Amino acid sequence: MAYYRKQLPEILTTPMEDGFHMPGEFEPHRGCVMVWPVRPGSWPHGAKDAQRTFIEIARAIARSETVWMLAAPEQIHTVQEALAAPEQMHAVQETFAGGEDEGGRQEFEKADIGQKPKKAHSGRNAKDGASGSTCVSSCGIACAPNIYLLPVETDDAWARDIGPTCVVRKNGEVRGIDWNFNAWGGKVDGLYAHWDKDNQAAGAICRALGMECYDARHFVLEGGAIHSDGEGTVLVTEACLLSPGRNPHMTKARIEDTLKSYLGAQKVIWLPRGIWNDETNEHVDNVSAFVRPGEVVLAWTDDKNDPQWSLSNASLRVLEQERDARGRNFIIHKLPIPAKPVCITEEDLAGFVFEDGEDTREAGERLAASYVNFYISNGAVIVPQFGDENDAQAVRILAGLFPEREIIPIYTRPVIVGGGNIHCITQQIPGGE
C-alpha cells in the first residue's frame, strides 16, 4: 500500500496532506480494541483478577459498540471460554479475594454513586457495533455478545499505546497510524526489554479490521500520550514527549510539527506534567482529557502536601492561559484523584514474576491512580473506581459532564496494579464508511 513508509517511501503522504484528522474520543466509534492480559511482570497471581476485570470492562463497552480482544493464537480457546462464561461469574463482588482488594471492594459497594443517566442514543446498533460497519462478523472470532477475538500475539496488554491511532476524513474513510513503540523509553527507561510483538500490533490490527495504515515508525509515540478535541487541538505533556527515551534527536518544535502532520492538528497544547509517579513518563490521558471541544477535565487535589498538587497546578496555569485551535478559552473541570494513595502491597509483590530487563515493583510503591483514565464508548463512560472516598464524587462529576451517556463505574485496582487503567487498556476505532 502507498501508505507504508518502509515499502514505498518515495510516494509517502501524511494524514494532514490527505485531509485526515484525529477525531475526539467522544465522537462515534466503530468499536474498541483491547488485549488479553497475561504478562506475569504486569499482572500478579496468574493475571486472574486482571482478566476478570478486563472482561467486565469489555462487557460494559460492548453494550454500545463492538469490542475486539487480541490474544495469542494458543490462548484463543481459553479466552473464548472466559468471555462466554455466565455474566454473574464476573460481577464485581467475584473479582477480588481478601486483603486490601476485599476492603476496597467493600468501600466501592457502599459508595453512593448516584443515579445513572439514561443510556445514550448514539445511532449505533449494539448488535453490530456501528452503523455502516460491514465486516464485524468476519473481523475476528465471535465469543460473546458484540465481542470478537483477534488472534494477534503481543508482549503486554496496553491497547491504547500499542494499537493504531486512527484518523478520519470527511468522506467517512478511517485509516490507522502505526507509531514506533519502545516500551515507554527503550534502553533509556523502558519498562521491559523486549517489545517487538507490541510494535507489530498496530499494523496487525489495521489489517484485521481492513484499514489502510500510515507507517510512522520514525517517531516514538504511544496513544496515551495524545488527546484530541476532534477540531484541531491536541493535548500532550512535556514530561512524556520530551523524555530522553523517545525522540531525543528531535526538537520540541519538530515533535510538534510531526504531531500536526499526522494528527491533522493546528495546535498542540503542552501541559508540563502528568500524574506523579506515572511510569509512562506522565501520559496526558491520565491527567487531562477532552469531554467535548473547548472543555477538559483535569486531575486535581487540594492537598498541598500531596506531590500531585504542584503538578496539577502547573497544568492548570497552562490551560487557563491557552486557547484552542478555534480561539476558545478552555472550560476546566477539576476531577479529584483518590484521597488515599493506591499502592503496591506485599501480597501483590509476591504474585509478580519479572523477566530480565523488566522494570520491577516494590511494596508501598504509589501507583498513578486517576479517574481521568476513563473510556468514552458510544453509549457510556466507563470510569475507574478504587474503593476510595472520592469514587462517588468522580462519578457524579462525570455524570454531569456526559448527561447523554450512561456512567458505568468499575472497580479497577487489578488494572492499576499493572501500571495503567481503563483508558490505557482500550483504543477506540472511529466510525466511518
Query: Is residue 424 annotated as a catalytic residue, yes or no?
Result: yes
d(CA 262, CA 166): 10
Phi, psi of 20, rounded to the nearest 5 degrees: -100, 155
CA atoms within 13 A on the CB side of 191: 18
In the sheet that holds 233-237, the strands lie side by side as 227-228, 233-237, 267-271
d(CA 139, CA 335): 37
- For 36, 44, 54, 97, 244, the CA distances from 47, given in Å and listed in that order, are 10, 5, 10, 13, 31
Relative to beta strand 147-151, strand 141-144 is: antiparallel
- The number of residues in the chain equals 433
26: closest CA among 424, 422, 380, 269? 380
Please answer whether residues 428 and 404 qualify as being in contact, where contact means their C-beta atoms are separated by less than 8 angstroms. Answer: no
Residues serving a catalytic function are: 424
